[in-house]
Amino acid sequence: MTAQIIDGKAFAATIRDKVAGHVARLKADHGITPGLAVVLVGEDPASQVYVRSKGKQTVEVGMQSFEHKLDVDTSEADLLALVERLNGDPAVHGILVQLPLPKHLDEDLVINSIDPAKDVDGFHISNVGLLGTGQKSMVPCTPLGCLMMLRDFHGSLSGMDAVVIGRSNIVGKPMAQLLLGDSCTVTIAHSRTKDIADVVRRADIVVAAVGRPEMVPGDWIKPGATVIDVGINRIDAPEKGEGKTRLVGDVDFPSVSKVAGAITPVPGGVGPMTIACLLANTVTACCRANGLEEPE
């Protein structure tokens, strides 16, 4: 292996420490405790794990965590009423509705019912528009975490060729906007992209957000490129015993790590950064709501 490992787990710990410091100061100097409300509808196992982890880390940095677990058959009207209540609750500075929602609920409608100032996931159409026009917004946590790792590793990203694989609203598109904002030359690849291997091979920075286990092989990667693997895929792991599974990314780590200059592992790369950025966004939302200076 030649690639340097970008340790998202360690980086996320430093962000959490900073967040904890800001929270302590908000409490001591202003008597304010930032609060994050997480809404989970149904019992999707992966979502349950994420929500538990978010709640635990929220409390660990000294913030208030409000968890709302609703039945899988909750009506849209009831969910919208809860969001409305959280919008009006002064103790709640950030609201996150865990996606995906059950099929009978309109995700766009629900997300756009969140007060944009409390939309710590950055998915509200107002925040999407603000990000797209380079204005102050709430930035989606996963792409923000990726950008922070890239800036930390490279310093300036200006002029670099970046290829984002995946065009979802929650990862691919905002990732591309952020890289553009840092003056990369950005290409977005997706399932209809022709000659994707050639497209990816041009990139100094590759961000893979596809949802297909180990799809990107080493021979797609320009030697020395930086590879950010957003994918979280659970696959069978018979080598660990019958019925066992393991997590892999969208990148084939063994072959890519031989060619890339740097790579994020799965687990321990983008995942921990996502939650750390969620906590940081909540503190930012709290400061904005109270007219206080925002953390950097």
In terms of Cβ atoms closer than 10 Å to its own Cβ (0-12, 13-18, 19+), residue 193 is middle
Catalytic residue among 57, 98, 177, 182: 98
Q: Is 4 a catalytic residue?
A: no
Q: Is 240 a catalytic residue?
A: no
Among 133, 156, 192, 241, binds ligand NDP (CB under 6 A): 192
3-state secondary structure of 279: helix
Q: How many CB atoms lie within 10 A of CB 132?
A: 14
**CB 165 to ligand NDP: min, Å:** 5
Q: Is 182 a catalytic residue?
A: no
What gap in Å lies between CA 11 and CA 268, rounded to an integer?
10
* Under rule CB under 6 A, residue 103 binds ligand NDP: no
**CB 120 to ligand NDP: min, Å:** 14
- Yes or no: say if 205 and 150 are a contact pair by the CB < 8 Å rule: yes
Nearer residue to ligand NDP within complex by CB, 26 or 214: 214
Among 140, 143, 166, 265, binds ligand NDP (CB under 6 A): 166
* Under rule CB under 6 A, residue 142 binds ligand NDP: yes
Return all residues near 166 (Cβ < 8 A) that are at least 6 apart: 172, 188, 189, 190, 207, 208, 209, 210, 211, 230
> Taken in order 227, 230, 231, 234, is the CA torsion positive or negative?
positive
Phi, psi torsion values for 133, nearest 5 degrees: -105, 15
Residue 165 marked in a binding site = no
Nearer residue to ligand NDP within complex by CB, 6 or 26: 6
What gap in Å lies between CA 281 and CA 277, rounded to an integer?
6
Tell which positions 236-255 bind ligand NDP, by CB under 6 A.
250
Among 38, 176, 184, 210, binds ligand NDP (CB under 6 A): 210
CA 102 → CA 107, 120, 153, 184, distances in Å? 9, 21, 38, 37
Among 226, 274, 282, 284, binds ligand NDP (CB under 6 A): 274
Residue with tokens 């039945």: 71
Residue 167 marked in a binding site = yes
Among 36, 144, 189, 285, binds ligand NDP (CB under 6 A): 189
Summarize the annotated binding site for NADP(+) as residue ranges: 166-168, 232
Catalytic residue annotation: 54, 98, 121
Interface with ligand NDP by CB under 6 A: which residues? 142, 165-168, 170-172, 189-193, 196, 209-212, 230-233, 250, 270-271, 274
